[in-house]
Chain A
């Protein structure tokens, strides 16, 4: 028997395959998150994310993927952070992009300091959680990946396919083929209009930082920074099954420590940092003495925050909570802030929204955009931007895919009656009012059956003294639902002459 061939037994042999399967499943479901397939099942990764499910539960929202979340939260008791090592698509990407394994290039002191970070992250998150702010979910790995793919990957694929189609079209014989392929992909990977999203640079920066941190310390995001990993690690403290080392067989060669992708093996090689171990058993595979296995009562070696650390984290949590409580970071009365139909009141929405961007992914008109006018706490929550699109009358997908119910599921009928904003006509810019020329695009396209815009025809005198008969649009306030079709279609240059503002309850 040769010792250099790694011994592999058990499920962990298939870790790569399982990771790939979950990655493909994640992107498969996300690719399907398009009209007309909207369903919360498509967001099952997010709904089953214990961090998100916990946040939802605390805020009084329960959805069926929460059952999976409970299972996942219990899993670290027997299998460590297996989620991180086997299922997490973000972890898979980070692991693939990580230059090397093992402890990394930080000094021992720096690394031991980093061990204090996960509890810190957890306590600070708890501060936000208790004060009803979901802002920390911005750092949830699954929400982050969904957001990155939605705002960067899918628009990129869309454009590449378009470009490919355009190039193919240069050769006339290829055109039927191009049409067939384009037709099949339209609505899945190619969209009627090229997708655009705001805040792309920020999203790219964050994802690049997550990947780039691996250069400093392999999988630094997963080990030290990820809030979901920290939560799973917290449960891992009480692991009843895990990595056990045969003390007598161990020759303290240190191979296990070197190979561990999560840096979960301390200097004695015998114990395990159960807040980190992802049950990949790479250590068992390299152990020359076959001394490592999976067993009951693993010898734990976990970082316990110092009193000072807890105080500092508590201070940060209190500050974060106060930040949320005081509303400094909120801009709920921003006039441009229109939430998608079904969107909860601002407080609840900010508490529940995972900032994942699933609603933006599914929106067929691209009108749902990452919020910039909702304040610091509301960054990347959904906001309607009527310069980009408008709320489609025949669609209620965003509420169906929201993994937390921050946007409630409305029936089409209810959605069509939900007032999300109100159109204001600017008579100083509207073509018939200001230029004395005919135009009634807004009225024509108003999807409300009895039309929230009416045309009143009258003989009017132009500034030049001529009298013309002109139909001029006016908004019927009680009928307007704020879908923004008018604002999106208004031909007035640079800024539409009819704009939709949010309807916020008066303080």
Chain B
């Protein structure tokens, strides 16, 4: 009898110890707790060598004979055709996506609104990009954002989920485990932040914002669109916003930037909600440098690049050319 009691006690103690151990494991697996996590250094876009040779608006000028322009502007009444043309002007998707490349696309799906409100990237344009990636021989095409609304609603209501899935792409719902605290060596205020690791793991990242106004930032174009790959507390990220946008851009440099301006939300951005705030833009802009694309993007709203504080800061920091006179811009209509 005594032995049985002892065994029972041993069993209970063992169970308690196991529970404690298990909860410890669970804690160790809490990636979300990035406050205490060590900072990881990741280099962006180290993998694909093809990019540097096709189109670079950066310091090193391409040696190629016929250089593609820095900014491609396509206008027309079909968002998909605009997008295809803009990428074609840059030399085609093949210059960015090699055979077997893993591609991630980051549209703007900030909240759950239908496409006509102009607060999310045009679904037809996203689908066109997905198709172009497949045609270029991509091994996988994944589309994601980190909406402020419930993710599934935002994906569905924006029409992007259906468009992407019809085009054969994958819509990924981001989880805490997809973020890691990554150091931003050139950051001035933002020196490290939980960032989505998928964009580092992928071979090609395509930043696909839509053009709209933004209460605090002025306009939200490609640079501000990166807030969707940043984890952590969104509210904190919006204090000292301008420099933080620039800091994030010093780390994350998508190989291709496609600015959807088929509709322009010219008031009450970034979440809009009224059709009276939307006007037709009929444009798609593509480029390889976010600063340059955003600098051109200001012209859609009759603004100067210098009107956007973060574009100015980024240009001053040497992240890209914001002077439209120094950029080679090619405009075509479908």
- Residues of A with Cβ closer than 8 Å to B? 35-36, 162-163, 165-167, 169, 179, 182-183, 186-187, 192, 364-365, 392-395, 431, 437-441, 443-451, 455, 471, 485, 489-492
Q: Is A364 a contact of B150 with CB atoms below 8 Å?
A: yes
- Residues of chain B with a CB closer than 8 A to A490's CB: 235
Instruction: A437 to B173: give the CA distance in the assembly, Å.
Output: 33
Q: Is A192 a contact of B148 with CB atoms below 8 Å?
A: no
Interface core residue of A165, A449, A471 (most chain B CB under 10 Å): A449
B214 at the interface (CB under 8 A from A): yes
Q: Is B175 a contact of A393 with CB atoms below 8 Å?
A: no
**CB-contact partner of B112 in A169, A393, A438, A492, under 8 A:** A393
**CB-contact partner of A438 in B173, B233, B239, under 8 A:** B239
Label chain B's interface by main secondary structure: loop
Q: Is A444 a contact of B216 with CB atoms below 8 Å?
A: yes
- Residues of chain A with a CB closer than 8 A to B153's CB: 35-36, 364, 392, 394-395
- Residues of chain B with a CB closer than 8 A to A365's CB: 150
Identity of the chain B residue whose Cβ is nearest the Cβ of A180 in the assembled complex: B170
Say whether, besides A431-B239, A491-B235, A446 and B175 are in contact (CB < 8 Å): no
B15 at the interface (CB under 8 A from A): no
CB of B149 to closest CB in A, whole Å? 6
Give the A-B pair count, Cβ closer than 8 A.
114
Q: Is B150 a contact of A166 with CB atoms below 8 Å?
A: no
Instruction: A505 to B310: give the CA distance in the assembly, Å.
Output: 47
- Residues of chain A with a CB closer than 8 A to B271's CB: 444-447
Instruction: A439 to B241: give the CA distance in the assembly, Å.
Output: 8
Instruction: A491 to B241: give the CA distance in the assembly, Å.
Output: 13
- Sample of 15 further A-B pairs with CB below 8 A, known A163-B29, A169-B177: A166-B177, A364-B153, A365-B150, A394-B112, A394-B149, A437-B240, A441-B235, A444-B238, A445-B148, A447-B271, A450-B268, A471-B215, A489-B235, A491-B233, A491-B239
- Residues of chain B with a CB closer than 8 A to A394's CB: 111-113, 149, 153, 157
Instruction: Please classify how large the interface on chain B is, using the bins under 10, 10 to 19, 20 to 34, 35 or more.
Output: 35 or more
Q: Is A444 a contact of B152 with CB atoms below 8 Å?
A: no
Instruction: A485 to B148: give the CA distance in the assembly, Å.
Output: 9
- Residues of chain A with a CB closer than 8 A to B269's CB: 444
- Residues of chain B with a CB closer than 8 A to A169's CB: 177
Instruction: A438 to B244: give the CA distance in the assembly, Å.
Output: 13
Q: Is B151 a contact of A192 with CB atoms below 8 Å?
A: yes
Q: Closest 6 interchain pairs by CB?
A: A491-B235, A449-B274, A449-B273, A394-B112, A364-B150, A166-B29
B270 at the interface (CB under 8 A from A): yes
CB of A37 to closest CB in B, whole Å? 12
- Residues of chain A with a CB closer than 8 A to B156's CB: 36
Say whether, besides A165-B175, A450-B268, A489-B234, A439 and B239 are in contact (CB < 8 Å): yes
Q: B264-286: which residues lie under 8 A (CB-CB) from chain A? A: 268-274, 277
Identity of the chain A residue whose Cβ is nearest the Cβ of B29 in the assembled complex: A166
Interface core residue of B172, B215, B268 (most chain A CB under 10 Å): B215
Q: Is B29 a contact of A167 with CB atoms below 8 Å?
A: yes
**CB-contact partner of B215 in A165, A444, A448, under 8 A:** A444
- Residues of chain A with a CB closer than 8 A to B268's CB: 449-451
Identity of the chain B residue whose Cβ is nearest the Cβ of A489 in the assembled complex: B235
- Residues of chain A with a CB closer than 8 A to B171's CB: 183
Instruction: A167 to B31: give the CA distance in the assembly, Å.
Output: 11
